[in-house]
Amino acid sequence: MHISTDTLARICETLNCEITDVIELVPDEPASTGGKEHERIETKNNGKRN
């Protein structure tokens, strides 16, 4: 899900929480060379990944 950082900031201000309370960085599968090519950000949803 794409969400702007402005929206995330307003959510955090409203909920009086840190950005890490509502999102987490989830690495993609490692590349065949052993390195990470990308990371994606997922919003947290009651401990479940979207």
What's the pLDDT score for residue 38? 54
What's the pLDDT score for residue 50? 42
What's the pLDDT score for residue 15? 95
For tokens 């052993």, what's the residue? 34
- List the chain pLDDT tens, one digit each, 50 residues: 688 999 999 999 999 999 989 888 888 877 665 555 555 666 666 554 44
What's the pLDDT score for residue 22? 87
Positive/negative CA dihedral, 23, 40, 3, 5 = positive
* Both structure tokens of 14: 């409203």
